[in-house]
Amino acid sequence: MNIRKIVTYVEVTTAEGGRPVDPAARIAVVAAVIDNPWAGQGFVQDLGPGIDATASDLGKLLAPEVLEALGEPAEAYGKAAIVGLDGEVEHGSALIHTLKFGNHFREAANATTLLPAVEKRGGVGAVFDIPLKHITDATIRSHHQTVEMRVADAPHPDEIVIALAAASRGRPQQRLADLSTEQ
């Protein structure tokens, strides 16, 4: 795995809707810009060797970094991949939609739910919205939120941006009823 850079983004919301947010809502994202392990190979039928060579190491690297950047326990989380224009969306999906990648984050965050994800192909500076959900109960509406991020000079055509995101709480000032009230 060749990493060109790691970018960390932290957002702290102290007011929402004209009212204070107490405690402040924190969201952290850590993104790694890596060489696409399938770049220059044409169509690759078996993505397994690239997954085996990359996904676990990437998850092991990013999971503690995003939790450290968050600075408090995570209550919501998500993941993302943006594949450079010479790659396929499937290349990003192959790296983030495997337990070899996601289990590192689940274990570090004491989570049990599947990580919500977004993946797409894009050029340098492509924006991605990372969906977040509660770490142990994906039906908790207050924690359904999104964080926007981009890496200004990535992905190059032969790169992939892989990101993990974590939130310290649900949406500030959330006031939707629990899903159970509609069942």
d(CA 161, CA 119): 10
d(CA 57, CA 72): 24
Amino acid at 133: K
- What does the pLDDT profile of the chain (183 residues) look like in tens digits? 999 999 999 999 999 999 999 999 999 999 999 999 999 899 999 999 999 999 999 999 999 999 999 999 999 999 999 999 999 999 999 999 999 999 999 999 999 999 999 999 999 999 999 999 999 998 889 999 999 999 999 999 999 999 999 999 999 998 887 777 777
Other Cβ atoms within 10 Å of 76 Cβ, number:
28
76 φ, ψ (degrees, to nearest 5): -140, 155
Q: Which domains does the chain have, with CATH numbers?
A: 3-182 (3.30.1330.110)
Q: Which helix (H) or strand (E) holds 183?
A: none
